[in-house]
Amino acid sequence: MNIQQLRYVVAIANSGTFREAAEKMYVSQPSLSISVRDLEKELGFQIFNRTSSGTVLTRRGMEFYEKAQELVKKFDVFQNQYANPEDEGSEFSISSQHYDFLPPLMVEFAETYPEDKNFRIFESTTVQILDEVAQGHSEIGIIYLNNQNTKGILQKIDKLGLEVVELLPFQTHIYLREDHPLTQKKELVMEDLVGLPTVRFTQEKDEYLYYSENLVDTSDSSLLFNVTDRATLNGILERTNAYATGSGFLDSDSVNGITVIPVKDALDNHLVYVKREGMDLSPVGKAFVKVMERYFEKRSQA
């Protein structure tokens, strides 16, 4: 039994036919059939019932398939982390919470290092970001820490074998449409937000507040809009009296009709990135961090 045979079983079960599985696995159908028959002979039972209309898992085959699928997935994660290091530079991937500075930052990086041609930017939930980095799908994950979420996030980070690198502190900012009544103020206090609708990014583990991207308490909100992308969030802000929270790094070329106002709080926010513990960043990863630090330094001085 070997991992390739397990991949064949998973592919056949998912496809429904040997022919389709062979096409997906880039092998000939006879080679795939022989490999699976050898595996069945070794196991002492049939994994598939072959019929004229397709292929169906046997009862024992179903059990075997479920365990094989789990093993293949774990092996792929393992391989992605440790094998084929020469391929790491083929695609540079980062994962991040939803930040408006990402588009201009990535454009600046691409212009500064034109020799790097393949980028992947994965904006998602906090849990998925950490898992992305831990499993090796992304080299860097961009999140924030403050005195409300640090304990819980660091526990997750430690469990996943990650480490945190600080980028910069930032003040909480409130995102509003440009003609919102609150835009008359230069600085807000928490009481200004009571009773207003709130737009926030959905998290898959809402019971854990430390995974939230929302920087302030929303219990006094009159209405909650839970969204999954920045375009929808900005669209709701432009059309309502709702507010959202963020770092304040707003790119005017990316977002029209939205303004940001700082709010007084004691959250002690810090933008950070996570990477796998004890592993050096790749050359392109180091270059990206350098551009990112320079980007924030210029905007902090503006």
CA distance 272 to 287: 16
Q: Which fold has domain 89-168+270-301?
A: D-Maltodextrin-Binding Protein; domain 2 (3.40.190)
Question: One-letter amino acid identity for 119?
Answer: F
Decide whether 89-168+270-301 matches 170-267 in CATH topology. Answer: yes
Q: What is the pTM of this model?
A: 0.70
Residues present in the chain in total = 302
% the chain with pLDDT above 70: 92
Instruction: Give exposure, 20-33, as e/b (b: 16+ Cβ within 10 Å).
Output: bbbeebebeeeebb
- Tell me, what's the pLDDT at 165? 96
Q: Is the pLDDT confidence value at 191 over 80?
A: yes
Question: One-letter amino acid identity for 261?
Answer: I
pLDDT in tens, 56-81: 899 999 999 999 988 888 887 777 66
Higher per-residue confidence, 88 vs 142: 142
Instruction: Pick the range with the lowest mean pLDDT from 150-159, 177-186, 205-214, 278-287.
Output: 205-214
pLDDT band of residue 82 (cuts 50, 70, 90) is low
What's the distance, CA 302 to chain centroid? 30
Bridge partners for 174 per DSSP:
245, 261
Question: One-letter amino acid identity for 109?
Answer: F
CATH superfamily, domain 170-267, is Periplasmic binding protein-like II (3.40.190.10)
pLDDT in tens, 85-141: 545 446 789 999 999 899 889 999 989 888 877 888 999 889 889 988 988 889 999
Is the torsion defined by CA of 212, 230, 265, 273 positive or negative?
positive
- DSSP string of the chain, one letter each residue: --HHHHHHHHHHHHHSSHHHHHHHHTS-HHHHHHHHHHHHHHHTS-SEEEETTEEEE-HHHHHHHHHHHHHHHHHHHHHHHHS-GGGGGG-EEEEES--TTHHHHHHHHHHH-TT---EEEEE--HHHHHHHHHTTS-SEEEEEE-TTTHHHHHHHHHHHTEEEEEEEEE--EEEEETT-GGGG-SSB-GGGGTT--EEEE--TTTT-GGG-S--S--TT-S-EEEESSHHHHHHHHHHSS-BEEE-S---TTT-SSEEEEEB-----EEEEEEEETT-PPPHHHHHHHHHHHHHHHHHHH-
CA distance 200 to 229: 10
- Tell me, what's the pLDDT at 188? 94
- Tell me, what's the pLDDT at 163? 94
Whether residue 297 contacts residue 249, with contact meaning beta carbons closer than 8 Å, is answered with no
Instruction: Pick the range with the lowest mean pLDDT from 46-50, 58-62, 197-201, 203-207.
Output: 203-207
Give the domain ranges of the chain.
3-83, 89-168+270-301, 170-267
pLDDT in tens, 233-283: 999 999 999 999 999 887 665 567 899 999 998 788 999 999 998 888 888
Q: Is the pLDDT confidence value at 287 over 60?
A: yes
Just give the CATH number of 3-83: 1.10.10.10
The set of residues, in sequence order, having a beta carbon less than 8 Å from that of 9 and lying 6+ positions away, is 36, 39, 47, 64, 65, 68
